[in-house]
């Protein structure tokens, strides 16, 4: 008889292990995405543009990617983004909320224990009492304990935990995306501001020449050599350039205000001194296209969202199976306080319960179809973002290559314009041509110099955009794992994942 009981226990234990090991969720694997073997717009410097793509073996971008531009002012501003930017704080708070859901979901793996001590003083009605003669005051002292536990036979709980873990990891990647976006916006605004300083310097230099020309035409007019019309034209040209220089103050102030907002300061608290503009983009280690999916936090966030959707399918499928609940209660109960904690006052009850939905009108089928559709949508969104990511890299590679060549060509145009102006001035001073030719030559030179600055700032913006397109040095190893998500933070608000460091 003992042997038979052992066999029954063995069979029951084996069946329990089989049930616990049954996971209705599909086995997850990262969905494939179209990935090219090489970038189309990565010719290096074979066209003599002066800009060269860093080789995959070069040092990778680090967390402080902006330091490749070797600008101390930019470095100081970028260091304030993670500390003061409110958008980053919103993303970090969202991560902490997602992490709390992991802790909450994981608690379902353990029994729930509760106690409800109570004291009741009551008197039954003398005319409605169901027990004849019992009409006096009754005291009741109770100290019950309840224990409830639902075994996770169908991985409903564990799939819920997985879903919350994957969602929290996606939220952590969202912090990195928000941080990278803000840092890139700041760098772009900073280079725009420096380009504005360069444009102001060009206009200041031009106005010096214009004033000299006004003085020259004034002298020639007073001596009767030149006409009043030439004098008015020279003065008008100076006035126009002065107004243009003043108008640049609007753009510069707005860029400065935008930078202040990005670092979490009121515009009144930030003043950036005028400085030089160095439009020389450093090499960016782009690497192979196959590595891009591992380097962009937004792509990683979407991949984690797919994993969460896959776990949700398992949760929906588990609804087809029965739920076993083990519960027990016990404690002490007495009508006398002096007998409350005595052995005869004990009570207890224990027993399992099994629940199974027999008919729901298609509710579970609808939930399964919804979970599958959400998974399919997450996969499509992931693949579309991957395609967009490759497009972003190709766009910026093309921009860097073409703009580098364009700047060289514009320098040639500037040299030609300067030569044209020199000749026009000689012919004007010797009385061969009117001052109109000088104005035309000066306008051509100014236009070419301004166009060059415009192309240079576009070149720097493309460099920043390329850094952002390849992930800014983000590493998927920084995503928090289970132990990180369930660990108690040292202090409130101090649970920033490694991806923001």
pLDDT, tens digit, for every residue of 179-219?
999 999 999 999 999 999 999 999 999 999 999 989 988 98
Question: Residue 98: which of 30, 161, 29 has the closest Cα?
Answer: 161
Tell me, what's the pLDDT at 495? 45
Contacts (Cβ under 8 Å, ≥6 apart) of 458? 399, 403
- Count the Cβ atoms, other than its own, within 10 Å of residue 282: 12
Which pair of structure tokens corresponds to residue 391?
């497009």
pLDDT at 12 over 70: no
d(CA 15, CA 196) in angstroms, rounded, equals: 75
- Count the Cβ atoms, other than its own, within 10 Å of residue 276: 9
pLDDT band, very low/low/confident/very high, at 414 (cuts 50, 70, 90): very high
217-231, 246-260, 268-282, 289-303: which has the minimum mean pLDDT?
217-231
Burial zone of 490 (CB within 10 Å; 0-12 exposed, 13-18 middle, 19+ buried):
exposed
pLDDT at 424 over 60: yes
d(CA 303, CA 338) in angstroms, rounded, equals: 64
pLDDT at 250 over 80: yes
Contacts (Cβ under 8 Å, ≥6 apart) of 307? 28, 162, 166
Tell me, what's the pLDDT at 43? 59
9-13, 400-404, 486-490: which has the minimum mean pLDDT?
9-13
**Alpha-carbon torsion 128, 130, 132, 134, what sign?**
negative
> pTM (2 decimals)?
0.85
Question: Residue 391: which of 399, 381, 379 has the closest Cα?
Answer: 399
d(CA 409, CA 404) in angstroms, rounded, equals: 9
pLDDT band, very low/low/confident/very high, at 263 (cuts 50, 70, 90): very high
- pLDDT by residue (tens digit) across 371-391? 999 999 999 999 999 999 999
Q: How many helices (H) and strands (E) does the chain have?
A: 11, 5
pLDDT at 51 over 60: no
Domains of the chain in start order, with CATH, are 21-110+153-321+363-500 (1.20.1600.10), 116-151+322-355 (2.20.200.10)
């Amino acid at each position: 008889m003992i042997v038979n009981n052992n066999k029954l226990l063995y069979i029951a234990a084996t069946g329990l292990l089989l049930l616990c090991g049954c996971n209705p969720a599909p086995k997850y694997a990262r969905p494939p995405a179209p990935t090219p073997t090489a970038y189309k717009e990565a010719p290096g410097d074979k066209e003599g543009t002066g800009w060269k793509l860093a080789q995959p073996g070069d040092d990778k971008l680090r967390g402080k990617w902006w330091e490749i531009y070797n600008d101390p002012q930019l470095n100081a501003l970028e260091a304030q983004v993670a500390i003061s930017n409110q958008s980053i704080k919103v993303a970090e708070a969202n991560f902490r909320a997602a992490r709390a859901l992991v802790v909450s979901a994981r608690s379902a793996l353990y029994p729930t224990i509760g106690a409800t001590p109570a004291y009741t003083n009551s008197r039954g009605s003398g005319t409605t009492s169901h027990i004849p003669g019992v009409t006096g005051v009754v005291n009741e002292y109770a100290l019950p304990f309840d224990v409830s536990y639902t075994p996770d036979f169908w991985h409903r709980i564990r799939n819920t935990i997985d879903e919350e873990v994957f969602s929290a990891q996606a939220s952590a990647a969202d912090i990195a995306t928000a941080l990278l976006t803000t840092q890139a916006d700041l760098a772009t605004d900073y280079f725009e501001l420096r380009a504005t300083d360069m444009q102001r310097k060009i206009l200041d230099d031009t106005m010096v020449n214009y004033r000299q020309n006004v003085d020259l035409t004034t002298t020639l007019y007073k001596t009767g050599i030149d006409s009043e019309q030439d004098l008015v034209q020279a003065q008008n040209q100076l006035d126009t350039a002065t107004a243009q220089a003043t108008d640049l103050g609007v753009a510069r102030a707005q860029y400065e205000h935008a930078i202040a907002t990005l670092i979490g300061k009121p515009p009144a608290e930030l003043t950036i001194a005028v400085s030089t503009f160095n439009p020389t983009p450093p090499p960016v280690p782009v690497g192979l296209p196959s590595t891009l999916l591992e380097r962009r936090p937004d792509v990683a966030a979407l991949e984690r969202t797919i994993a969460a959707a896959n776990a949700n399918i398992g949760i929906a499928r588990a609804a087809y199976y029965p739920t076993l609940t083990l519960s027990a209660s016990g404690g002490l109960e007495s009508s006398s306080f002096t007998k409350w904690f005595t052995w005869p006052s004990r009570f207890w009850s224990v027993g399992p319960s099994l629940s199974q939905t027999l008919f729901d009108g298609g509710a579970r089928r609808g939930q399964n179809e919804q979970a599958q559709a959400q998974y399919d949508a997450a996969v499509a969104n992931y693949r579309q973002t991957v395609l967009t990511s490759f497009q972003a890299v190709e766009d910026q590679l093309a921009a860097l290559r073409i703009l580098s060549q364009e700047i060289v060509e514009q320098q040639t145009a500037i040299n030609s314009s300067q030569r044209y102006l020199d000749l026009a001035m000689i012919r004007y001073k010797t009385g061969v041509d009117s001052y109109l030719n000088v104005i035309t030559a000066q306008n051509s030179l100014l236009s070419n110099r301004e166009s060059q600055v415009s192309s240079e700032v576009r070149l720097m913006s493309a460099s920043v955009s390329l850094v952002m397109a390849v992930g800014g040095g983000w590493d998927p190893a920084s995503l928090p794992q289970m132990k990180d998500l369930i660990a108690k933070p040292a202090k409130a608000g101090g649970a920033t994942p490694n991806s923001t460091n």
